[in-house]
A and B are shown apart, each in its own frame.
Chain A
Amino acid sequence: MSSATATATVFGSEVPQPKQHGKPGGIMRRLNFVTGMIGGLGLAIVAGVVTNMLTPSGASTATFAPAAPDYVYLAVLLGWVIGFMAGIGAFVGPIRWMLGRDLTHADAEYMAGKDLGWKRYFKFTTDHKVVGVQYLVMTMVILGFGGLLAMLIRTELGVTWAEVFSPSFYNSLIGTHGIAMIIGMIIVVMGPIANFIVPIMIGARDMAFPRLNALSFWLLFVAAICLISSLFVGGVQDGWSVYYPLAAQAPPGMLGYQMTIIVFAFSTGVASVNLMVTILTMRAKGMTWSRTPLLVFGVFASALMGLYAFPFYQYSQILALSDRIFNTSFFDPLEGGSVWLYENLFWLLGHPEVYVIIIPSAAVLMEIIPVFYRKPLFSFNFAVAGIVGVVALSGLVWAHHMYMTGWAPAVNYPFMLSTEMISIPVGFLVLVVIGTMWRGVVWTRLPVMAVYAVIFNKMIGGVTGVYLSDVPVDQYMHGSMFVVAHFHYMLMGAGLFGAMAGVAFYFPKMTGRILDERIGSIGFWTAFVGFQITFGSMFVAGLQGQPRRVLQFDDLFNLSNWISTIGAYTIGLGMLIFLGAIISSWMYGEVASSNPWGSKSLEWQTPTPVPLENFEVLPVVTERPYNYGVPDPYQAELDAVDGDLEKVGK
């Protein structure tokens, strides 16, 4: 490069360097979480005050509510997002690029957190391992927040003899719990595990775009604060789907929801771009698609679905925000808008989002089972076909959420068919897990026990999902507690418990410690039992006819709700124990070797803690990742198949 004035040794090569401006890192040395908070809060206050001064008195919104609270709150939210991102240094990279002041290798090493110790977790750090740990902590905070709200909801529903919360606060608990948990579940595998593990798993030194990686995490942080802030200005009172026209009449807290989704969708988009490009272009030499671990397939599939589907959700909220602030009428039938437009845009993400959550969780299971059964994976091709099938069908099922809305009844049955069809590729994934277990000798540890729990939950969630996908059944079940129980079995029972299996499995690589098996198992199984009590009973309440999102109900449903509430507190207790196991193990746990499970995939071949550059010399892959106990993998697989055929007499 023409402006090069010096060279640096980068992985053994002398590489020309651009001019170094000051110390490595430049202005990024001064920017961190504290400057981000100062920037965010400062700009939020200034924007709020100025907007309040500029808003004419008496201005009203489209629903004739006073406009000032909406305008001021929106200004505060924008100020917070822009100010925080500026304060933590998110704009430094693009501005340096625009000015032509490229990073040197020393700059990049500083930004990756080299020699920064614990401080690197509070900066705009680009190292994928740091971002993975940041995501892990953030995920636990978001899920903990959502879980706390769930406890409050169950408290209200369990105390059938009194009203604990006001109806509007109860509604905002429901809505905020819903969207917090959805966000938490979307990132629970794609954040910590995909960011930390996938680059090492494919033999790369980092993600394709390290700054985008940091950007995606800190956008998530500012989005989460937007959501929490909404609780103080009326909350999200219309469920996580915030259907129109309810959303138009909602208090200003709705703007917090809308800003959360707009920012979170952007965060997810850039994370998806980064993961997909990393997987497509940075796999190690020899890592053909048939030698690529299934977690990588799962993460790629999830990123792809998020990439095409999230913008629809994002734009549904942009249009909704425009209706509220600029008096446009996308969703206002009085002026030519349509609430069905909102519902379509919303569910165009809303249903692929289920697979965005479940596919990476299922992929984690397929990584765990061969390791603990010391057997090759049962049909790698079936697993890939299952993932591809889910991705292909994921965009064709959204309207099964709208059977009863009156939108295009003629398409109900095609959507019923597509929804039932998608259970086939999902079934492939379960089949691969069970097929791998078949006649194996298991090394029973926490991760593999979690797999059993997930299979159990997924069966119940999947079968009840088939019921609900049938139009005639849905006529009776929609809007009932049965639906709530069903999607909790899928999202929490399969998604979250799968992610817990993943956390237990990858914990030694991520933290350098072994997760306390005894305390972790107690927590896990307590949560599992509580889960069955809570949602099993909720199925009963749903079948009895209890509607969801309703504060007061008939005495007929009391018993089911008491049992559900006891179960919910049991889940809470179990999760607290599991969290305690994570924290205590992270701080004082047994030091892990580099490969405590004896896994064959690449991420376990690196030292623990993983060095900054992951690999001093990039690896070359020569075999499939699941060839356990097989001296000559290909011949042995053929022999095994021949042997099985002989036994059945063919």
Chain B
Amino acid sequence: MTNIAQRRGTSAQAAADPIAAMVDEHGVLTADAERAANVSDAELRDLYRLMAIARRLDQEGVNLQRQGEIGLWGPINGHEAIQIGAATAMADADWIFPYYRDFGMAIARGVDPGVALTWFRGLNHGPWDPRELRFGPGIISVGSQMPHGVGFAIGCKLDHEPIAVLTCSGEGATSTGDWHESMNFAGVFQAPVVVLCENNQWAISVPFRQQVAGHIADRAAGYGFPGLRVDGTDVLTVHAVVRAAAERARRGGGPYLVEALTYRFQPHTTSDDPTRYRDEADAAPWRAKDPLANAEARLRARGAWDDAFAEQTAQAAEEAATNMRQTLLNAPPPHPGIVFDQVYANPPDSLLREKAEFVSSLESGGAE
């Protein structure tokens, strides 16, 4: 198990960084910082509810794949605190550039879960308009979403708009050139961006120690801005730290890197077989830090947990799962001709002709 205490805040800037001071040696929000963050009981319950819904929908995603209704599912189990905590930390006008596993962020941001899954049902390559919810498409080419977020953030700075951008990836992406180039651009342009790394210890079969030399949070120092390692299984910590980093970015404080540690409890995707490369016993210490259990413990400590809330939440999650399944299964298949329409805003005549030939061959029964 990754020891957060050993890996926290080694950069010289950490001492002078008020955000770093928000967490203790375990990367968990201090009692002082929790008071200062002023997340009400009702807000904490909302975070828990979203996490519970995300977990239930994630399970439904696996079920739907097993039933042949979607082709692939990339489970988020273990990521709930990071995704819900970070997405809800961003203001409405802020932007999020997610990676493919950020389903929890998508639903926290308001993407209809059933619509989100049409992507994995093979109905489209991306079912939402990023500008509607200020939420980018889930990028599969690992790490390549980073410059999109940083570019957008540079644009916010050029427009003198107080907008913060959250760009997300797993820890595997931190090995890519795009990740490092983007970190450098973020530092050089002092872009208002929060770089979030969801370090779940596994990039398919490769464990963290074989993926990353040194430590991810420390990378930020090399690019001239602070980085912080936090406990990614505690929603309140992630929420408060990302919110502070976003506020800092909006104020012109520049980029900030948040490395949130968790564990990928499930296979990489439904196509993966982790028994070939890891011992399930390795997960045991992490299971004791389950994001849902952590959040429940926080609510209980505040006296904000009761059976009625637990029951309502479970019921809301069930309803969400039923709705997601229904929306997904009711989604009409796309007319094949639509793939021609989405390529260009101003399509060449030659493509329009190609489409016409394609559609007419479909109509004459030439292809299906």
Co-assembled chains A and B: no
